[in-house]
């Protein structure tokens, strides 16, 4: 073993202590989100711990400790003179604003499920078997919807669909759309609300998610959307103007087979929109904060999901555009291009 560099060791220990604190703060972020503490601070702060207790009806002593943890994490702002706590505009965007494209609280529910499910993934490491989506803790399902919805609400209708060739015009006039791997239906309902003349069907192989999607669409009063239980390789229908897959192609066991089936359901001039996590084509390109998060989710959720299905290709959440193009073109698509992108997503358009 090489000699220990004390300076580098101390720096690394400091990094790990910071990461340890961030990991420990995760449940507290979920708690603050579930109990409306961030929103209360946003709407009625600055507040002392006693003031927050008065506004919420919760125990002051617990709130005092939670506020201290969040202030030490720099997730909320503390004023020592008034002993009060508040959210800066930037903190508000991340923790409390439901319209913010960078609302990140949903990600912590997914992380919560990863801790619950660690023994299952450890077993899969030993056997090489998969762990299907439905085998995960329920935090994953609501957390996924909560995490992705802000980005979809911001970009999907305003940027991503307009970046596709002629699709916005078709949907405005009245088209037929299939949303594959729809989960709780966030992407499907956002599109349906924006294009009332078109008909949208969300498909997912996880039956409880489909039931939730139907319930949410009914609550929103959306009449041009429906949801069915089906996988990417056998969803019904034909003559679709647009098929969409949001952050799910890499989770599929046989993405090339899904590509073939999508092609068979499209109109000759139809389009397939594939939204995938932003990634480069090499590991070195993905050694970044975004890549770090996606690789962690991929190890615990995406790769096991794919390995639980037929073929089990296990692309992973950082597959990169080159590999994605290969599996899309293997399904028979001749035209694939990157239509647009965000810091977190690449949006590919595939056409026959």
**Beta carbons of 224 and 281 less than 8 angstroms apart:** no
Domain-terminating residue out of 44, 68, 95: 95
Model pLDDT, residue 224 = 98
pTM of the model: 0.92
Domain membership of residue 134 as a residue range: 105-351
Res 172: pLDDT = 98
Q: Are 168 and 74 members of one domain?
A: no
Clarify whether residues 82 and 110 are in a common domain: no
* 174 and 302 together in one domain: yes
Domain boundary among 53, 73, 95: 95
Number of domains the chain contains: 2
Q: Are residues 91 and 110 in the same domain?
A: no
Q: 72 and 133 in one domain?
A: no
The CATH number of the domain holding residue 66 is: 1.10.10.10
111-162 per-position pLDDT tens digit: 999 999 999 999 999 999 999 999 999 999 999 999 999 999 999 999 999 9
Q: Are residues 55 and 199 in the same domain?
A: no
Q: Which helix (H) or strand (E) holds 177?
A: strand 176-180
Residues 204 and 275 in one domain: yes
The answer to whether residue 1 sits within a structural domain is no
Asked if 218 and 82 sit in the same domain, the reply is no
Write out the H or E segment, with its range, that includes residue 30.
helix 6-34
> Which residue has tokens 């990461």?
19
Q: Are residues 202 and 337 in the same domain?
A: yes
C-alpha dihedral sign at 298, 117, 98, 44? negative
Same-domain pairing of 135 and 263: yes
Do 136 and 227 fall within a single domain? Answer: yes
Instruction: Tell whether 333 is covered by a domain.
Output: yes
Q: What is the mean pLDDT of each run of 10 residues along the chain (352 residues)?
A: 90 96 96 97 96 98 98 98 98 95 95 96 97 95 93 96 97 98 97 98 97 96 97 96 97 97 97 97 96 97 96 96 97 97 96 96
DSSP letter, residue 291: H
pLDDT of residue 2: 81
Buried b (16+ CB within 10 A) or exposed e, 306-343: bbbbeebbbbbbbbbbebbbebbeebebeebeebbbee
CATH assignment of the domain containing 253: 3.40.50.150
Final residue in a domain of this structure, among 76, 95, 114: 95
Query: Is 235 part of a structural domain of the chain?
Result: yes
Q: Residue 266: CB partners within 8 Å, gap ≥ 6?
A: 239, 240, 241, 243, 272, 352
């Amino acid at each position: 073993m090489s000699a220990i560099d004390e300076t580098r060791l101390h720096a690394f220990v400091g990094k790990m202590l910071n990461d340890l604190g961030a990991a420990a703060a995760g449940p507290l972020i979920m708690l603050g989100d579930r109990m409306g503490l961030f929103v209360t601070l946003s709407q009625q702060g600055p507040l002392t711990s006693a003031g927050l207790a008065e506004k919420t009806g919760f125990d002051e002593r617990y709130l005092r400790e939670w506020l201290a943890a969040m202030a030490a994490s720099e997730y909320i702002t503390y004023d020592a003179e008034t002993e009060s706590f508040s959210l800066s505009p930037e903190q508000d965007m991340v923790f409390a604003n439901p319209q913010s494209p960078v609302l990140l609280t949903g990600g912590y529910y997914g992380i919560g499920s990863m801790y619950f499910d660690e023994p299952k993934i450890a077993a899969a490491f030993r056997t090489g078997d998969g762990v299907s989506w439905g085998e995960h803790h329920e935090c994953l399902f609501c957390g996924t919807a909560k995490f992705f919805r802000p980005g979809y609400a911001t970009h999907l209708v305003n940027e991503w669909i307009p970046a596709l060739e002629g699709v916005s015009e078709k949907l405005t006039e009245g088209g037929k759309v299939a949303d594959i791997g729809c989960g709780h239906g966030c992407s499907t309902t956002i599109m349906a609300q924006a294009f009332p003349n078109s008909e949208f069907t969300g498909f997912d192989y996880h039956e409880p998610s489909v039931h939730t999607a139907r319930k949410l669409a009914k609550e929103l009063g959306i009449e041009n959307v429906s949801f069915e239980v089906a996988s990417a390789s056998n969803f019904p229908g034909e003559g679709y103007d647009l098929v969409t897959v949001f952050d799910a192609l890499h989770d599929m066991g046989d993405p090339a087979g899904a590509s073939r089936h999508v092609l068979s359901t499209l109109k000759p001039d139809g389009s397939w929109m594939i939204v995938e996590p932003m990634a480069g084509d090499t590991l070195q390109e993905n050694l970044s904060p975004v890549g770090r998060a996606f690789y962690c989710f991929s190890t615990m959720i995406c790769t096991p999901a794919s390995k639980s299905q037929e073929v089990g290709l296990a692309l992973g959440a950082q597959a990169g555009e080159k590999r994605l193009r290969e599996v899309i073109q293997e399904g028979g698509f001749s035209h694939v291009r990157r239509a647009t992108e965000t810091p977190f997503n690449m949006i590919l358009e595939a056409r026959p």
